[in-house]
Structure 1
Amino acid sequence: MEIPLQDSYYSFLLADFHLLAATALLLIVYFFSCRPTCIYLIDFSCYRPPDDLRVSTSNFIEHFEICGLHERSAIDFSNKVAERSGIGCEAGFPLSLHQIPPDNSLNPSREETETILFTAVKDLFSKHNINPKNIDILVSNCSIFCPTPSITARIINKFGFRSNVKSISLSGMGCSAGLVAISLVKDLLKVHRNSLALVLSMEAVTPNGYKGKMKSMLLANALFRMGGVAILLSNKKSDKRRAKYKLQHLLRTHMGSDDQSYQSVFQENDESGYVGVSLSRELLHVAGNALKTNLTELGPYVLPYSEQIHYGLSVIHRKFSTSARKKEIYVPNFKKAFDHFCIHAGGRAVIDAIEQKLRLTKEDGEASRMTLYRFGNTSSSSVWYELSYLEAKGRVKRGNRVWQIGFGSGFKCNSAIWECVSDLNPKIRNAWSDRIHKYPVDIPDVADH
């Protein structure tokens, strides 16, 4: 039986239509599956220690003397470091370290961790009316204190998270672990669509007090203070309206294959058997090299072409220059790429070195210096206290880009770039609200020790 020519023609058209429809569907699926996932930072909440936990330098040294745990030379050295650290009289120690002698056992360590994180999470949830059962991903980071059950398990138990929440506890990753946790959540949010993530970042001070006399280990006693932060992230389109920031770039650099870098921040026993974290003399040099490597990879993503060309030409000129005094390689002007800088408040020398390396002004490093002064070195959470300071000052505007720079053992240098996507109200309560009007304060310059 012959098929009419007209019917055959329509059959071919129908087949072509189906083929085109299938192709279009595949292209649409491919487009949406390959499109980069936007990571939104809805809000964050930093823990503010109550005033009765504040420790001035004089109280810090008096406590050392009364406890009788350290030799006179160790006390004098600690006093010298504390006076030159850039830390003021408002930074706090956990309650257990106010005792005589200090109690750094397991229970007080748990109590410090719970006090900080429970307070921060409760504040964040109440501010945005978040139901704990709506949290899909939970990641915590605390370098040295790693209890059983884990820190994330304590949060799940306290707030009643769902049984299928994806929880991860990071440990042993130092002061840069906060941005490592953000990086992990970023990767998880690429896979798990329409999800809400909570990141908890802190370092427990209670179990980390060093009782020996090695100067490289006594540094940590004088620099670290209690603090932490809870951060709420989302990849939901609906959360774009209420989000503060959008993650633009996150770059991690690990220098662990180099022995000097690997040993620059090292937990070990001293000759008397006391455990402490040793900070080597080469730490600033190591941090500079890690930052240089990080910037080399980050630059092409964030710098305008004019700065990249200028840098490239200086590298070529130096390579082929025949003069005895070769011209220095041009340091790009990162102020053309970023509006605000949050440098890890690891210590006064760290902030000074980064400012000099990047040719930043004192105003660019103000948030870092004031965070160090008021809260001390709060490890991985310090960059969030700095961002909180900028918000309280009303300096972060819609469209501004913020650069968070974290350093940590390993040795690691991590960068996170955030774009402000909303109009921020500086009057909204945060960790600085009670006395932001008193800052910045003048911090006297001191000679290097």
Structure 2
Amino acid sequence: MDAGVVAIDLARDLLQAHARTLALVVSTEVITGSWYTGNDQTMLLSNCFFRMGCSALLLSGQRRDRWRAKYELRQVVRTHRGAEQRSFEAVYQREDNSGRRGLHVGREVTEVGGHALKVLFFATLLSGNFVNKQENKPYIPDYKRAFDHICILATGKAVLDELQKNLELTPDYMEASRSTLHRFGNTSSSSIWYELSYLETKGKIKRDDRIWQVAFGSGFKCNSVVWRALKRVRRSPYGPWIDCIDHYPLREES
């Protein structure tokens, strides 16, 4: 689910070592490889909420390509909590009692995901200055001040609701994630690129805007990448949203 960000990190390292080259990153979800044919309910979930999806992006390490590039890669942060048994077992592939292999998704996955996300700013918690003395709660950064747009992996409505609440995000910051989930379902690692395409098609990306993409995955991992827009990204006549963008964002029924 977070393979796209992992690939970006790998591509960045390769381009630093071989600056005068290009790197093509392809993010895809192929559900046939993990399709489960048994009766274990915790392993049937993956059959229900994953969808086929694919995206591709071209990265360059050459300065001469800067004028045509849309974004500049600013930061990649990867966290892994696999040392904790509970985190490891939240999402992992195993066999059921009949020997059928499938992807197990535990009920604790939302909580574990929240803990993995907190690791991204755990360093700030080491200082007592970031603890609310009255409520004895850890400081939660105001992500709305740090980023202009946020693309959270479109896993499911409950997960997005929980993240919006914990990160104190406004509906505008969740628009791309919720719209992607409604239109394409959970396309796993490629969903954050569908979300970025949504923002572009809506004409929301302006020069110097900061975009934060957050993805989760088995392990349990939480990986994120930050981009800075080098120009105003204009609406493309191509892409997955071109025939339906005017139907979004969805209006909530009163």
Q: TM-score range by the shorter chain?
A: over 0.9
Could you report, residue by residue, the CA deviation over 1:352-389 in whole angstroms, capped at 9, with x for unpaired residues? 11111110012211110111111111111110000000
Where is the strand percentage greater, Structure 1 or Structure 2? Answer: 2
Task: After TM superposition, give the deviation of residue 326 of structure 1 in Å.
Answer: 4.1
Match of 1:413 among 219, 222, 234: 222
Which of the numbers 150, 159, 179 marks the counterpart of 1:341?
150
Which amino acid counterpart does residue 293 of structure 1 have in structure 2?
V
From 187, 201, 208, give the equivalent of 2:13.
Answer: 187
Letter in 2 for 1:278: H
2:19 corresponds to 1:213: no
- Secondary structure, aligned partner of 1:346: coil
- How many Å separate the matches in 1 of 2:141 and 2:204? 24
| Aligned residue type for 2:150 | F
TM-score normalised by L of structure 1: 0.54
Deviation at 1:312?
A: 5.4
Residue 199 of structure 1 aligns to a residue in which SS? strand
Instruction: Tell me how far apart the structure 2 counterparts of residues 348 and 367 of structure 1 sit (CA, whole Å).
Output: 13
Summarize the alignment of residues 396-407 of structure 1 with structure 2, pairs less than 5 Å apart: 396-407=205-216
Long gaps (5+) in structure 1: 1-174, 300-307, 319-324
Q: Output the CA distance in 1 between the equivalents of 2:212 and 2:241.
A: 20
Code of the residue aligned with 2:129 in structure 1: it is L
2:79 aligned to which of 253, 256, 259? 253
Counterpart of 2:186, as a letter, is N
Which deviations, in whole Å up to 9, do the C-alpha atoms of 1:202-251 show, x marking residues without a partner? 12112322222211111111100110111100011111000000001100
CA distance in 2, matches of 1:313, 1:241: 42
Give the root-mean-square deviation of aligned CA atoms: 1.9
Tell me which of 350, 372, 384 is aligned to 2:159: 350
Partner of 1:425: 234
**Structure with greater helix share of residues:** 1
1:293 aligns with 2:102: no
Equivalent-residue separation in structure 1 for 2:145 and 2:221 (angstroms): 25
**Partner amino acid, structure 2, of 1:255:** R
Runs of 5+ consecutive residues of structure 2 not aligned to the other structure: none
Distance 2:128 2:16 in 1: 34
Which of residues 165, 179, 184 in structure 2 aligns to 1:370? 179
Q: Mapping of 1:289-328 within 5 angstroms? A: 289-296=115-122, 313-315=129-131, 318=133, 326-328=135-137
Out of 92, 104, 108, the position equivalent to 1:278 is 104
- Residue of structure 2 equivalent to 1:168: none
SS in 2 for 1:216: helix
Q: Larger radius of gyration, structure 1 or 2? A: 1
State how far apart, in whole Å, the 1-side matches of 2:135 and 2:170 are: 27
Report % sequence identity. 47
1:229-282 deviation per Cα after TM superposition (whole angstroms, max 9, x unaligned): 111000111110000000011000011111111111111111122221010111
Does residue 394 (structure 1) correspond to residue 203 (structure 2)? The answer is yes
Which residue of structure 2 aligns with residue 438 of structure 1? 247
Q: TM-score, normalised by structure 2?
A: 0.94
Opposite residue 272 of structure 1, the aligned amino acid is S
Task: Quote the residue 2:90 is aligned against.
Answer: 264
Query: What are the equivalent positions in structure 2 for 1:12-411 lying under 5 Å apart?
Result: 175-296=1-122, 313-315=129-131, 318=133, 326-411=135-220
Secondary structure of 1:431 counterpart: coil
Residue 195 of structure 1: how far off its partner (Å): 0.9
Deviations 1:84-105 (A, max 9, x none): xxxxxxxxxxxxxxxxxxxxxx
